């Protein structure tokens, strides 16, 4: 039996003339009724948690969804979970679930890139494929997955890389895990290692992300530190480099005793101490910042929130990001 947990997103939306755009409209039952063939895939149970657009997700709401999933997974009659979610925040919620719940029973996030009022509404097809993925014995042990546009991705790797294309979700460094072809699940590769879940009573919040750009200075880093962020993730340039004017802001974060975590704004690759000029990655690392290596900024933020929720300080987070 598969539980379908509805949280909202474009899959539940229709164009509203008064609002001037798409808004949440459809109930879980209406979406299921539009998904022909769903009853042939598995017995399903509907859990209508909410009808939130992706940008309305907060850390506390993401954690509430995670806990709802955990409660369903604990039921012996449940073989897997499908979660419908707004695509703007889907990769973040899915990563949080992937890093905090065991990998045995499949958890499959899906959504839509077109609302139901469009001729090209992709919600029913994505929901059917997600249910097929969750019901497949081949999906057991693969952890949390993301299924849209006939592709299956690991939630540990996937990113939304396009604003509105139907194939907006990709795993830039490694490619999709598998695909759905005429209803059949095909896995092309496996996750090499499933990390040990980080399962605090609650994630630490707020943890901010500050992006670097040509000519960036320390104002946003200082504002984040001065207004109470528990940690900051820097989406640095290239291999983990920052403009010289931003470097002192990183030093002030380190001196405050709170974690400053270095990622890259690039979609692929790892940060590393390659460059030794002022603001280069080696200088940043030597100043006491924590390298997130291959983690993208959003992933590193969630990793830090979960780790700090378990009481990890800078030294423990440094070790966490190395593994």
Reference 240, options 304, 303, 311, 321; nearest CA is 321
Residue 160 pairs with which residues in a beta bridge? 169
253 contact partners, CB below 8 Å, separation of at least 6: 221, 225, 232, 260, 289
Cα–Cα distance measured from residue 155 to residue 279, given in angstroms and rounded to the nearest whole number: 32
Neighbour order of strands in the sheet with 144-148: 44-52, 2-8, 80-84, 107-110, 144-148, 151-154, 178-181, 184-187
Alpha helices in the chain (DSSP H): 28-33, 38-41, 59-73, 87-100, 123-135, 219-226, 244-255, 281-286, 297-309, 314-322
**Helix and strand totals (H; E) in the chain:** 10, 16
> Which H, E and C letters describe 121-155, residue by residue?
CCHHHHHHHHHHHHHCHHHCCCCEEEEECCEEEEC
Active-site choice (10, 35, 87, 144): 10
Active site includes 133?
no
Cα–Cα distance measured from residue 269 to residue 129, given in angstroms and rounded to the nearest whole number: 30
> Catalytic positions, please?
10
């Amino acid at each position: 039996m598969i539980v379908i947990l509805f949280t909202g997103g474009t899959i539940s939306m229709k164009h509203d003339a008064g609002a001037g755009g798409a808004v949440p409209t459809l109930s879980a039952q209406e979406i299921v009724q539009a998904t022909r063939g769903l009853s042939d895939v598995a017995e399903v149970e509907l859990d209508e948690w909410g009808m939130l657009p992706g940008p309305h997700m907060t850390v506390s709401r993401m954690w509430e969804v995670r806990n709802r999933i955990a409660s369903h997974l604990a039921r012996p009659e449940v073989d897997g979970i499908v979660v419908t979610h707004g695509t703007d925040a889907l990769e973040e919620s899915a990563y949080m679930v992937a890093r905090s719940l065991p990998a045995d029973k499949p958890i499959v996030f899906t959504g839509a890139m077109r609302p139901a009022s469009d001729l090209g509404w992709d919600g029913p097809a994505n929901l059917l494929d997600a249910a097929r993925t969750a019901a497949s014995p081949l999906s057991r042990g693969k952890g949390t997955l993301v299924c849209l546009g006939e592709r299956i991705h690991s939630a540990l790797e996937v990113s939304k890389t396009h604003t509105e294309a139907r194939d907006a979700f990709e795993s830039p460094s490694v490619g999709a895990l598998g695909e759905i072809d005429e209803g059949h699940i095909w896995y092309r590769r496996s996750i090499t290692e499933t990390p040990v879940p980080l399962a605090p009573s609650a994630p630490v919040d707020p943890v901010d992300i500050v992006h670097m750009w040509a000519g960036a200075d320390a104002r946003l880093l200082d504002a984040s530190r001065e207004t109470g962020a528990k940690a900051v993730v820097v989406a640095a340039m290239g291999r983990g480099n920052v403009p010289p004017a931003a470097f002192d802001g990183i030093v002030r974060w380190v001196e405050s005793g709170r974690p400053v975590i270095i990622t890259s704004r690039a979609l692929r690759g790892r940060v590393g101490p390659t460059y030794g000029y002022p603001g280069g990655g080696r200088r940043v690392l030597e100043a006491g910042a924590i390298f997130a290596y291959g983690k993208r900024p959003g992933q590193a933020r969630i990793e830090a929130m979960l780790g700090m929720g378990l009481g990890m300080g800078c030294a423990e987070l440094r070790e966490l990001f190395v593994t």
